[in-house]
């Protein structure tokens, strides 16, 4: 049987080490390699203009089949990219004899149930535990992933949640060899699914004289589908686009809120999903709130402490006042969140005035 080869060449160009393509002995070898070296998913091949970078949430992440239910499936890896897009990874060896349609159906089960039933608290805690196992601080890892001083950790997690709930995800099949049947399924799904990126990554293994090389290649992305999906996912929305994506009964609330923020002398910063409310901090803009369609409203207190001169005890007092109204729930350490309804709109606008008063004082 013929095996492909690559060659390692020393600096002198005189010594050539042939390395022969070999299948993986066990699937876990490929799984562990991906966890240790996420760039085996070649982000530059997925998006040459803005290469994808990766944060591992967890290996073998359980997926429930109902709200609050026990786990029914286990995903090999969940990664997040710098835009907060959840990336489902499933590894298979080429020797896996299961039908290609079964593998695809399995991944679609993961996607359908993960997007619906994963609690964000579970994903965040899983990411914390994974970072600790790697000897890293999660917030620092996210800051490195974002590589943008205008963005912050809480914004990132809100992007993750918005993408997850709207089904804006990436499905990646990883194997040492991608058969033509799976390749065709991947190409078809990627072309026909507007919100979901579907692709395969072939990670070939080459062995020779105690050395090992792993060579990844993305399969299933045509230039047409790449440009169509990247254009849609990277576009900064406008006020009109945001309001169009909101529930009809919340549009008046968001219109009033945006106008109040601007009139008070603060800034609305539009993003790809929603917007942040920002003030001038110490050397950079500091966000104090976020809004996401169709009806999410948040105060974020972390940057008041980090990037302004607001004393910590004053921020603690503000948190207590905001929570006392009974309209907001704690989401993470520094975030207070509400789903906007016709019944709570005026109360939330009143709390916005409380925020303004604290900032101005």
φ and ψ at residue 130, rounded to 5 degrees = -65, -45
With cut-offs at 50, 70 and 90, classify the pLDDT of residue 13: confident
Q: Can you list the domains of the chain with their CATH numbers?
A: 5-234 (no CATH), 239-360 (3.90.1150)
Residue 273's pLDDT is what? Answer: 79
Mean per-residue pLDDT of the chain:
89
Extract the tokens encoding 37: 């070296």
User: If pLDDT is split at 50, 70 and 90, which confidence band does 48 have?
Assistant: confident
Q: How far apart are CA 291 and CA 191, in angstroms?
A: 31
pLDDT digits (tens, 9 = 90+) for 270-293: 987 789 999 988 877 888 999 988
Report CA 268 to chain centroid distance, whole Å: 23
pTM over 0.75: no
State pLDDT tens for residues 191-238. 888 889 999 999 999 999 889 999 999 998 876 677 666 655 557 889
Listing DSSP states for 10-72 in one string gives: -TTS--EEEEEE---S-HHHHHHHHHH-GGGS-HHHH-SSS----EEEEEEEEEESSTTPPEE
pLDDT in tens, 85-125: 999 999 988 766 565 678 899 999 999 999 999 998 899 99
């Amino acid at each position: 049987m013929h095996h492909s080869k690559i060659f390692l060449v020393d600096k002198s160009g005189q010594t050539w080490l042939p390395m022969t393509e070999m299948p993986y002995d066990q699937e876990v070898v490929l799984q562990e390699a991906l966890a240790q070296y996420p760039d085996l998913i070649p982000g530059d091949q997925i998006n040459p203009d803005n290469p994808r970078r990766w944060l591992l949430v967890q290996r073998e992440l359980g997926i429930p089949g109902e709200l609050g239910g026990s786990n029914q499936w286990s995903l090999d890896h969940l990664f997040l990219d710098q835009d907060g897009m959840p990336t489902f990874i499933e590894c298979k060896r080429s020797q896996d004899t299961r039908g290609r349609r079964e593998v695809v159906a399995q991944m679609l089960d993961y996607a359908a149930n993960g997007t619906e039933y994963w609690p964000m608290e579970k994903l965040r805690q899983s990411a914390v535990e994974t970072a600790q196992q790697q000897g890293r601080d999660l917030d620092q890892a996210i800051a490195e992933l974002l590589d943008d001083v205008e963005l912050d950790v809480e914004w990132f997690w809100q992007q993750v949640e918005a993408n997850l709930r709207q089904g804006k995800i990436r499905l990646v099949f990883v194997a040492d060899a991608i058969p033509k049947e799976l390749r065709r399924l991947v190409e078809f799904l990627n072309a026909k699914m507007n919100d979901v990126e579907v692709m395969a990554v072939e990670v070939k293994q080459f062995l020779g004289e105690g050395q090992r090389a792993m060579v990844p290649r993305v399969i299933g992305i045509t230039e047409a589908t790449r440009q169509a999906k990247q254009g849609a996912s990277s576009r900064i929305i406008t006020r009109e686009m945001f309001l169009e994506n909101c529930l009809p009964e919340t549009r008046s609330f968001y219109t009033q809120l945006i106008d109040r923020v601007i009139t008070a002398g603060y800034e609305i910063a539009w993003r790809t999903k929603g917007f942040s409310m920002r003030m001038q901090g110490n050397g950079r803009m500091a966000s104090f709130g976020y809004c996401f369609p169709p009806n999410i409203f948040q105060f974020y207190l972390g940057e008041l402490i980090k990037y302004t001169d607001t004393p910590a005890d004053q921020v603690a007092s503000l948190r207590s006042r905001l929570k006392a109204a009974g309209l907001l729930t704690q989401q993470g350490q520094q975030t207070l969140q509400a789903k906007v309804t016709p019944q709570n709109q005026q109360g939330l606008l009143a709390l916005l005035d409380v925020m303004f008063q604290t900032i101005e004082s």
